[in-house]
Amino acid sequence: MPDKVNVDKFIHGGDYNPDQWLDHPEVIDRDFELFKEAGINSVTVGIFAWDKLEPSEGVYDFSWLDDVFDRAEKQGCKVILSTPSGARPRWMAEKYPEVLRVDENGRRNLYGERHNHCYTSPVYRQKVREINRRLAERYGRRENLILWHISNEYGGECHCELCQQEFRKWMKEKYKTLDNLNRCYWNEFWSHLYTSWDQIHSPSSSGDSNVLGLNLDWHRFVTDRTIDFFENEVAPLRELTPDIPVTTNFMGGNPPDSHVFYDLDYQKFAKHVDIVSWDSYPNWANGYETTEKLAAKTALMNDVMHSLKHQNYLIMENTPSQVNWHPVNRAKLPGMHEMGSLQEIAHGADSVMYFQLHQSRGASEMFHGAVITSKMSSKTRVFRDVSRVGRDLELLKDAKDSRCAEARVAIVFDYDNMWALDDARAYSNQSKKYWETIQHHYKAFWDMDIPVDIISTDDDLGKYSLVIDPMHFMMTEKFAGKLKKFTEDGGTLVGTYINGIVDENFLTYLGQGMDTWRQIYGLEVTETDTLYPEQKNNLEMFGKTYEVRDYCDLIEPESAEVEGTYGDFFYKGTPAVTRNGNAWYIGCRTDDGFLADFYGRLCRDLGLDFEIPLEKHSSKVSVRVRQTDDADYCFIINFSHEKQDVELSCDAEDVLLQEELNSGSLELEPYGVKVLKISR
């Protein structure tokens, strides 16, 4: 299966719905002219177009889609073709109500919205295969077809009786015997022993919502079922168009907390797509955080996507201006669109694509930003911003096959752990802050322009010098073994509080905890002091005092050495940060100042400072490098509304200005970007 899109430049395109304008061909004419003007070289079509493709059961109409392919082809524009399963025609739900979802209390939805389908329904699966087969048959050989966009933003769940049966099958396959299942769920608690497989039911607010193992397995099942549905979708495509790669647009990083997508295990899902693509909607220009902070969070999200397959990925959607679903929908300020687009290229994106190329005239997303707004003009600010990015991507053409500089630092992130920790009735119930913790650790490296991978527990650790494993509450023996081997092989490991507590069945490691884990860190955690929001402690280390909040592990060192100690409470003076050979343990939630100091020293000691011939004066400027065989492309981005200087210490080519530079001072405009090509 192909692992990249067959194009010779960065893709600049987006979702396009001419099906909404079929009675206005002049609008479509004009659209294609404007595409040329803005450097749009790809259109993504067919998303949610099922009712135009199959207006009534078994009656198909591909004429309008043929026309789009023709128009695109004529001007060298590529096509990304979507399967239409993200929304179904009304006639289908009317005739086959089983295609609609059922909620956790057993109530079947009415027709409505999108993404409202049962993943199990045999009828729906059959209908999807059928339409996908026809699309593949008709368009699979079109020269400008470059990619399959499967469905749209998979998510949600169905609790219908068919899904319950699948869930029971899944459980049976996993646990084999009821005894085993009962033991793993610790079901004797509250007399919950299953005595028949038929008693299994998905979590529900009117049934069980406190069986931790069940909740976790339901998350896992929903991922598996979604992937199964996805595989049903792609089967005819793989058969008919083996050379066309397949993706589906992932989600995440949305305001206000820029949290990674929660509902599906993308680390598992990513194994089934050829290329990762995602929809990126950072809310630049918001009123509650600095551009710099949001930039770091967005960088992290891009590195998450890059790390899923450790290969370049696509931005499938982003907005050229504002969205319409934030609490406040502000457009990007001048410069921000270029800033944000090139940041994603810098992190390994091979595209800038928009939702949407042409704004709807009506319906719920009519005010979402678009390249061509309802003004249908090339004079708008957004059109100029988009055209500028189009020009940038054209100028960056030589960098198209570049890859990001290899990361030697990895942060472990695990979906099972996220779900389990979140669901654990323990600690500070409403604010475990697993993702926020990853964000804080990541930011320390972002400030230093050091590349970081965000890895799963399946990933190979061997290529990293430093692995960070924060709040790894649910940890398997197997992964602990990997960590142990990693440190034995000379790798440096940093773990934090609430770590290695339960196994994959949500059962506590008894006694002094998991042996392997204790061997790694050389300590036992005797308690975790969970602080109220009003309470704080201190960490004494590096001759400084750092603020500590939320969590303090009380540590009993075995082979570990004490590097930092607590400043307050009944465990004042006891170990807060320890080191066991290469394995560091940070037992408390510290402020960012500590993380900067700690990782700064560690990186210096490990020689991880990334070699860039540039000196910057502010963490508001970020530098990322993509590399080809013979050159480094340095993306220097100013994430602030003031001008910033950087010092260049070699000769280079300013790619966007198309001019040669000597070493010396470089000025960046507010939200400004420079791409320097430095030959080797």
Indicate which residues carry an active-site annotation.
Answer: 153, 317
Q: Residue from 75, 290, 364, 649 that binds a copy of itself (CB under 8 A)?
A: 364
Q: Closest distance between a copy of itself and the C-beta of residue 89, in Å? A: 6
Q: Which is nearer to a copy of itself, 138 or 192 (CB)?
A: 192
SS3 120: coil
Closest CA to 157 of 108, 226, 105: 226
Sorted by sequence, the CB contacts under 8 Å of residue 395 that are 6+ apart come out as 655, 656, 658
Nearer to a copy of itself, 195 or 665 (CB): 195
Q: Other C-beta atoms within 10 Å of 231: how many?
A: 12
Indicate whether 20 belongs to the interface with a copy of itself (CB under 8 A). yes
Site of tokens 């057993």:
106
What are the beta bridge partners of residue 615?
647
**Cα–Cα distance measured from residue 588 to residue 566, given in angstroms and rounded to the nearest whole number:** 9
Binding span for a copy of itself by CB under 8 A among 35-43, 323-331, 405-413, 459-467? 323-331
55 binds a copy of itself (CB under 8 A): yes
Q: Interface with a copy of itself includes 360 (CB under 8 A)? A: yes
Structure tokens at 416: 């099972």
Binding letters toward a copy of itself, positions 267-286, x by CB under 8 A? -------------------x
Strands (E), 520-662: 523-530, 537-541, 544-557, 561-566, 575-580, 583-586, 588-590, 614-616, 621-627, 631-638, 644-648, 652-654, 659-661
Residue 185 or 229 having the CB closest to a copy of itself? 185
211 near a copy of itself, rule: CB under 8 A: yes
197 binds a copy of itself (CB under 8 A): no
Instruction: Establish if 429 lies at the interface with a copy of itself (CB under 8 A).
Output: yes
Q: Which of residues 324-353 bind a copy of itself (CB under 8 A)?
A: 324-331, 333-334
Q: How far is the CB of 212 from a copy of itself (least distance, A)?
A: 6
Helix axes 291-309, 336-346, angle to 10 degrees: 30
Span from 181-189, 290-298, 403-411, 648-656 in contact with a copy of itself (CB under 8 A) = 181-189
Q: Is 322 in the site for a copy of itself (CB under 8 A)?
A: yes
Task: Report how far residue 47's alpha carbon sits from residue 148's, in angstroms, rounded to the nearest whole number.
Answer: 11
Using CB under 8 A, pick the residue from 232, 311, 378, 428 that binds a copy of itself: 428
52 binds a copy of itself (CB under 8 A): yes
Contact between 188 and a copy of itself by CB under 8 A: the answer reads yes
Least separation in angstroms between residue 140's CB and a copy of itself is 23
Using the minimum distance from each CB to a copy of itself, give the nearer residue, 366 or 650: 366
Using rule CB under 8 A, residue 109 touches a copy of itself:
yes
If the CB atoms of residues 223 and 505 are measured against a copy of itself, the closer one turns out to be 505
Residue 553: is it exposed, middle or buried by C-beta count within 10 angstroms (0-12/13-18/19+)?
buried
Out of 361, 397, 572, 617, the only residue in the binding site for a copy of itself (CB under 8 A) is 361
For a copy of itself, the closer CB: 329 or 618: 329
Binding flag, residue 183, a copy of itself (CB under 8 A): yes
Q: How far is the CB of 528 from a copy of itself (least distance, A)?
A: 9
Among residue numbers 634 through 663, which ones bind a copy of itself (CB under 8 A)?
Answer: none
The residue among 286 and 619 lying less far from a copy of itself, judged by its C-beta, is 286
Nearest Cα to 410, choosing from 326, 330, 300, 331? 300
Determine, following the binding rule CB under 8 A, whether residue 207 of this chain makes contact with a copy of itself.
yes
Q: Binding of a copy of itself at residue 88 (CB under 8 A)?
A: yes
Based on the shown chain and the rule CB under 8 A, indicate whether residue 288 belongs to the binding site for a copy of itself.
yes
* Per CB under 8 A, 213 contacts a copy of itself: yes
452 forms beta bridges with 409
Please give the Cα distance from 421 to 501 (Å, whole number).
10
Enumerate the β-bridge partners of residue 530.
551
CB of 408 to a copy of itself, least distance (A): 36
Between CA 237 and CA 148 the distance in angstroms is: 8
- Judged by CB under 8 A, the stretch of 85-93, 138-146, 455-463, 583-591 that binds a copy of itself is 85-93
Q: Does 105 bind a copy of itself (CB under 8 A)?
A: yes
Question: What residues have CB less than 8 Å from 214, skipping those under 6 apart?
Answer: 185, 203, 208
Q: What is the smallest separation between the CB atom of 641 and a copy of itself, expressed in angstroms?
A: 10
Should residue 365 be labelled a site residue for a copy of itself when binding is judged by CB under 8 A?
yes
Identify the three-state secondary structure at position 409.
strand
**Strands 644-648 and 588-590, bridge-based pairing:** unpaired
- Judged by CB under 8 A, the stretch of 2-10, 337-345, 377-385, 557-565 that binds a copy of itself is 377-385
In sequence order, the 6+-apart residues with CB closer than 8 A to the CB of 113 are none
- Which residues in the 494-553 window bind a copy of itself by CB under 8 A? 505-513, 526-527, 529-535
| Nearest-angstrom CA–CA distance, 309 and 350 | 14
Q: CA angle 447-448-452, nearest 5°?
A: 90
- Does residue 381 bind a copy of itself (CB under 8 A)? yes
List all residues 6 or more positions away from 345 whose beta carbon is below 8 Å from its beta carbon: 10, 352, 393, 396, 626, 635
Report in angstroms how near the CB of residue 190 gets to a copy of itself at its nearest. 5
Q: Which of 66, 290, 426, 572 binds a copy of itself (CB under 8 A)?
A: 426
Kindly identify the residues of this chain, within the stretch 445-504, that bind a copy of itself according to CB under 8 A: none
Q: Which two tokens stand for residue 3?
A: 């692992």
CB of 664 to a copy of itself, least distance (A): 29
Residues in the chain: 680
The footprint of a copy of itself on residues 565-594 (CB under 8 A) is 569-570
Q: Which is nearer to a copy of itself, 51 or 592 (CB)?
A: 51
Total residues interacting with a copy of itself, rule: CB under 8 A: 110
Smallest distance, Å, CB 678 to a copy of itself?
33
Q: Is the peptide bond before 356 cis (omega within 30 degrees of 0)?
A: yes
CB atoms within 10 A of CB 138: 16
Q: How far is CA 680 from CA 457, 465, 652, in A?
A: 35, 25, 10
Among 150, 212, 276, 301, binds a copy of itself (CB under 8 A): 212
User: Is residue 63 at the binding interface for a copy of itself, with CB under 8 A as the rule?
Assistant: no
For the bound state, the minimum distance from the C-beta of residue 122 to a copy of itself, rounded and expressed in Å, comes to 21
- Rounded to whole angstroms, the Cα distance separating 537 from 546 reads 9
Measured from the CB atom, the residue of 189 and 515 that comes closer to a copy of itself is: 189
Q: Which of 391, 357, 385, 367 is nearest to 34 (CA)?
A: 357
Residues 6+ apart with CB under 8 A from 208: 192, 201, 214
Collapse the DSSP code of 678 into the 3-class scheme (helix H, G, I; strand E, B; otherwise coil) and give the result.
strand
429 or 649, CB closer to a copy of itself?
Answer: 429
Interface residue with a copy of itself among 76, 425, 664, 680 (CB under 8 A) is 425
- Contact flag: residue 110 with a copy of itself (CB under 8 A): yes
Report the residue number, 410 or 420, with the smaller CB distance to a copy of itself.
420
**Closest-CA residue to 15 (of 359, 453, 508):** 359
Q: Which is nearer to a copy of itself, 174 or 381 (CB)?
A: 381
Question: Is 123 among the residues that bind a copy of itself (CB under 8 A)?
Answer: no
In the set 84, 236, 451, 564, which binds a copy of itself (CB under 8 A)?
84
Separation CA 192–CA 200 (nearest Å):
11
